[in-house]
Structure 1
Amino acid sequence: MLIGEVARRSGVSARMLRHYDALGLVRPTGRTVGGYREYSAEDVRRIFHVESLRSLGLSLQQVAQALRDPDFTPAALVGDLVRWTQERLDRERELLERLRAIDASAPADWQDVLGVVALLHGLDSPDAARRQQAVLARQDDVPVPAEVLAKAVLAEPDPVVSGALRWALARAGDAGVSALTAAVREGEPAVRRRAARALADLAEVPEAAAALREALADPDPGVRRPAALALGRQGETAAVPVLVAMVVDGVNDVEAADILGALSEDPACAARVLTALTGELTAPGADSATRVRLMQALVELPGPGVREVLDRLSRDDDHAVARVAAAFAGLLDERS
């Protein structure tokens, strides 16, 4: 079979067949009287063998090695191919995400494109200071899709850079909320915490508020707490149990106490907060420091019920608690 017919039947160009011949990959076993290459059936099978190996991503040099060495084992090479292919797919996926980010920013000119590219490069830096600089140095007139900022927030381990990203994301409006709500519901614990902190800055957005309400029941306190603080500032009474728990745990307890006091301005909520704090104050095993924190939150509440609780506590068996309760009772008398 002459080279033209082989090319036609195999789909491999005559030029490539000549290249295979020059490399020693597939050399025709015969020649015609006129000196033309003549391929046997075995030669054609070898061509298909070469093409099959190339289809796996092997270079011609690797194909030659595989065909030349009868003891060649494909396991190691296939493993390398898997790794190389995965790396190539990761690079292409990253490129696709960058192109989508640029497209979503609706750039008006190349300056806008370069601005987005510069931000993306900065956010990819291994240096936290450079990532922060990339966020803070962004020009207000350079459109950046909020989805880019949301993704960066969810991946950022540095608290300072994370704060800068959340600030930029809040300025970008509610476009990135969907990515954050998906992450706070389904992400890994660290990702859910970052998503909750970012959503807390967007609590006035209905979709963000809905996700934060769900986050109040999250098993991770690092997710519950920013949700409770944000919702409490919005007047959401559903945050009360988590806010009380924050006072008990001594985590952002002063801020939580202030919010509980503000929520108690509503008479419908005041009794609920008073009952929750009193229940923790009288809980078996509560130590002195925890009970003092609870009393500090208690005195922020309006109404006569607080004075009654302090009067009872001023006779408590724990002398430290009794003294603090008496002091707080006297403070309330001075206020009134």
Structure 2
Amino acid sequence: MLIGDVARRSGVSARMLRHYDSLGLLRPTGRTEAGYREYSSEDIRRIFHIESLRSLGLSLHEVGRALDDPGFTPSELVDDLIRQTRERIAGETELLTRLRRIAAAEPADWEDVLRIVALLQALGSESAGKRQRAALSSVEEVPVQVEALVEAALSETDPNVAGALRWALAQSGEGGSALLAEGLGSPAAEVRKRAVQSIAELPNGEATALLRDALTNSDLVVRRYAALALGARGVADAVPTLIDMIVQGVDDADAADALSVLAGDSVLADQIAGRLVGCLARGTIESSARRRLTQALADIPGITASRALADLSHDEDRAVALTAAYILKLRDTR
């Protein structure tokens, strides 16, 4: 079969077939009396083998090795092709995401596009300073899609940059709530922590609902951050977790402050005092935890807390008794 017929039947151009010949990748079995290339059925089969391997991303050099080297093992090369393909897909996905974010910002002209691109690049910079400046400027100078800010906030390790990103999200409206909620379900503990910290700084009611849900999260750290935020918002559901934090000695001062905010409601104040007293009555509570619980009563107004402190001033644990007596003295002078 002559080269023109082969080209028509195989879909490989005559020019490419000549290129294969020049590389030694496919030499036609014979020649006509006039010197034209003549391909056998075996040559045609090799053409299809070449094209099949090329479709996997192999270079012509690699194709030649695969077909002609008896000792060639494909596993290593295939693994390398998989790696290259994943990198290419990741790169294309990143480009698609960036283009989508630029489109969502609705740029008016190319100057806007360039500013948005510069901001997105700055958010991904290796320099913490650049990332922080980008976060602070994202709200007013170059508004960007909230998704970009959420992605940056959930991956940020520098505390200063993280604070700037949370501030930017708080200024951007309610768009980030749902995306941050997804972060609460991340398999990575650090991402879950960053998600609840970011939600805690959102001012809207949707964020409060998410924080309520977070009180039942399987991650104890998430539950504690949610309780602190809800306590500051006056949500009584946070009380059990806040008291547990005092017992465990984890951010106990912040937890006590949150309880004092909640105790601004007189009815809730008596309920909080009752819960604290109930914990103090447990025989399994350590002395240090009993002292922290006693100190937490200091900022809880009402008769229930005062009576509890009076009883505790005669406690068998001298440290608890002295703490209660001192708090009572301060309450009497107010």
TM-score of the superposition, structure 1-length normalised?
0.93
Deviation at 1:315, TM superposition (A): 0.6
Q: 1:49 to 1:107 in 2, by over 3 A?
A: same
Please tell me the residue identity of whatever aligns with 2:72: F
Structure 2 distance, partners of 1:140, 1:35, is: 74
Deviation at 1:272, TM superposition (A): 2.2
Please tell me the residue identity of whatever aligns with 1:224: R
Unaligned runs of 5+ in 1: none
Unaligned runs of 5+ in 2: none
Counterpart residue number, 1:255: 254
Structure 1 distance, partners of 2:284, 2:203, is: 36
Counterpart residue number, 1:90: 90
SS class of match (1:299) = helix
Q: Is the 8 A contact 1:7 1:14 kept in 2?
A: yes
Q: Deviations over 1:73-114 (max 9, x none)?
A: 111111111111111111111111111221222222222222
Number of aligned residues: 334
Q: 1:22 to 1:110 in 2, by over 3 A?
A: same
Deviation at 1:138, TM superposition (A): 4.2
1:62 corresponds to 2:88 = no
Q: Is the 8 A contact 1:6 1:39 kept in 2?
A: yes
Q: Deviations over 1:304-332 (max 9, x none)?
A: 11111011101101111111111111211
Structure 2 distance, partners of 1:112, 1:174, is: 24
Structure 2 distance, partners of 1:6, 1:190, is: 60
Output the aligned Cα RMSD: 1.8
Report 1:101-250 matches (<5 A).
101-138=101-138, 140-206=140-206, 208-250=207-249
Report 1:295-314 matches (<5 A).
295-314=294-313
Structure 1 distance, partners of 2:163, 2:44, is: 64
1:284 corresponds to 2:283 = yes
Please tell me the residue identity of whatever aligns with 1:84: Q
Deviation at 1:250, TM superposition (A): 3.3
Counterpart residue number, 1:3: 3
Deviation at 1:213, TM superposition (A): 1.1
1:74 corresponds to 2:110 = no
Q: Is the 8 A contact 1:174 1:205 kept in 2?
A: no
Q: 1:139 to 1:185 in 2, by over 3 A?
A: closer
* % identity of equivalent residues: 54
Structure 2 distance, partners of 1:265, 1:129, is: 41
Deviation at 1:30, TM superposition (A): 1.9
Structure 1 stretch displaced more, 6-15 or 265-274: 265-274
Counterpart residue number, 2:329: 330
Structure 2 distance, partners of 1:181, 1:329, is: 44
Q: Is the 8 A contact 2:228 2:238 kept in 1?
A: yes
Deviation at 1:21, TM superposition (A): 1.3
Q: Is the 8 A contact 2:150 2:180 kept in 1?
A: yes
Q: Is the 8 A contact 1:203 1:231 kept in 2?
A: no
Structure 1 stretch displaced more, 269-278 or 311-320: 269-278
Structure 1 stretch displaced more, 65-74 or 301-310: 65-74
Counterpart residue number, 2:45: 45
Structure 2 distance, partners of 1:166, 1:53, is: 50
SS class of match (2:140) = coil
Q: Is the 8 A contact 2:139 2:172 kept in 1?
A: no
Structure 2 distance, partners of 1:313, 1:215, is: 34
Please tell me the residue identity of whatever aligns with 1:80: D
Please tell me the residue identity of whatever aligns with 1:173: G
Structure 2 distance, partners of 1:260, 1:6, is: 84
SS class of match (2:204) = coil
Deviation at 1:62, TM superposition (A): 0.9
Deviation at 1:11, TM superposition (A): 1.2
